[in-house]
Structure 1
């Protein structure tokens, strides 16, 4: 190499170094976290707590944006079609990342390939309730006996066709060899009301919404649809310990960014989210909302998400669920 060429290379490097050093670190402006459901639910509560913590660490606001509709698909599509620059995030769980694609068939985005997960917010247990007015006793054994005695006649409720609670109940019925009648409602409140009144015999619902009926004696929580018992219900067995190993199906929540987001931005957001969700204030909030960290069972995050997609695709197929 000639002296002149070496001098030019060194000079170019010297000029480039300050420019590289001055490249601003991500993020340089506010970010948004889309919650594709109505405010006030557990997804919203955990997303807001995560956003507040991430704002403090990142030094930029993380603004919650509500874009409800079509079972979470409206907000999810909006994020999928956003620039893949790290400034748009989506807080969602199996309703979109496991159920939406097999349930709706044709979507304007692909939940499987249009997102990258940066981490998990936590999980909340679903529980099985039975009606003391519809059954001889408010127990799981009474439900199973009634359903076996009258195949295709005992009704169970859900918060909507193809919902996580509907498909969990279908998984239980299949595992127990039962044939029951599905009665879909538009949300949990009317389903809980009819369960208490005895119009339906069983309902799977979130622990937090089911607990008041259980405590008031209008319905009985007979099992938890997770591997372990719920801390709020230490005397209620899990479906797994009752002999249904496929019924470890908590409602989990994660944060996703559009696929193609630059690796440095993904790494930064993942690290910050992990720091926030491992903090004591966040753990206190989860306990207050009957939530807990997601048990990956030794799997990687990608393997966990792949197993969830496979599980719910099969549940939709076997149940014949259709969108409301």
Structure 2
């Protein structure tokens, strides 16, 4: 499996001269935060169980709890394209006991597609650290693409504009917008069917109710073994070692779609510096764990450590990327 290194990505985002600055530690916060944590910490997942966000966060649950000395509790609060979960974190106390999950959807896509987004990704939250870099994968029902070939899929799309259907985790999610970007770049059309998470969408894909899904390899891998769906393209610079038969988008003439996504932990903006440092240290130690690394490798994703400052730079780059995409595809902003 080939990914860009963390250093390469961060230097690309903020420039080599500034790279040294983002590795500096935060100033230690008030004394009241020094006994953190003294009770369980909750991570709110804004997507349904069984989807990539859920699976990726659950890998760190036990080990990070051990590093913190307190249990890490997982709560799924899906709906409204992830907004319900994000708002839940926003309404919690800024004490580090309720964490959120930042994704390309919440901190890249959403700010560029909603007129009245009920949160500001940079002002309302502060980054704790990244979890993984994860390649997205285009999967299709074998009922729609019996030979599992991308060329067959595209041919069918062009011959039947607007008749085939693709699912997503909801309007405005990364799966939805990746699909919209794909359709614009290939000059094809499909009907978008939003779900409350990729897990329910995958069930309908296997049942033949929808034809395609822009999923994450971490959640699609188990279903690929079932024989009812097949992978047509992967977001990666090179074919993954674990999935050598899946061509990259670049091989298929769409290098602009070769953009793996990321996942990370966030907290309320007013969370004390000392708490953020404690969480970041526990998270990075967790990602150093061999058992966690092996689980992620089996999912087709790569552990991706960062400082809070590095994660902030990554989120800013993601926001700019989707700003350019929404402008290119003339996406009309939505109202909540």
Q: Which residue of 1 aligns with 2:80?
A: 70
Aligned length: 299
User: CA RMSD, aligned part only?
Assistant: 3.3
Distance 1:220 1:323 in 2: 35
Which of 97, 111, 115 aligns to 1:101? It is: 111
Instruction: For residue 210 of structure 1, report the CA deviation from its aligned partner.
Output: 3.9
TM-score normalised to the size of structure 1? 0.76
Q: Which residue of 2 aligns with 1:183?
A: 192
Question: Superposed, which structure 2 residues align to 1:216-227 within 5 Å?
Answer: 216-227=226-237
Contact kept in structure 2, 1:33 and 1:63, CA below 8 Å: yes
Contact kept in structure 1, 2:135 and 2:217, CA below 8 Å: yes
Distance 2:191 2:101 in 1: 29
TM-score normalised to the size of structure 2? 0.74
Distance 2:224 2:58 in 1: 28
Contact kept in structure 2, 1:154 and 1:201, CA below 8 Å: no
1:75 match: secondary structure? helix
Contact kept in structure 2, 1:94 and 1:308, CA below 8 Å: yes
Instruction: For residue 280 of structure 1, report the CA deviation from its aligned partner.
Output: 0.7
Distance 1:45 1:190 in 2: 14
Distance 1:243 1:104 in 2: 31
Distance 1:190 1:83 in 2: 31
Q: Which residue of 2 aligns with 1:47?
A: 57
Contact kept in structure 2, 1:196 and 1:219, CA below 8 Å: yes
Question: Superposed, which structure 2 residues align to 1:134-149 within 5 Å?
Answer: 134=144, 137-149=147-159
Question: Superposed, which structure 2 residues align to 1:157-172 within 5 Å?
Answer: 157-159=166-168, 160-172=170-182
Which of 297, 319, 322 aligns to 1:309? It is: 319
Q: Which residue of 2 aligns with 1:173?
A: 183
Structure 1's unaligned 5+ residue stretches are 1-21
CA 1:261 to 1:228, structure 2 compared with 1: closer, same or farther past 3 Å? farther
- Structure 1 residue 271 corresponds to structure 2 residue 277: no
Question: Superposed, which structure 2 residues align to 1:1-324 within 5 Å?
Answer: 25-30=34-39, 31-134=41-144, 137-149=147-159, 152-159=161-168, 160-176=170-186, 178-186=187-195, 187-188=197-198, 191-192=201-202, 201-211=211-221, 214-294=224-304, 300-316=310-326, 318=329, 319-320=331-332
Contact kept in structure 2, 1:227 and 1:241, CA below 8 Å: no
Structure 2's unaligned 5+ residue stretches are 1-30
Which has the larger Rg? 1
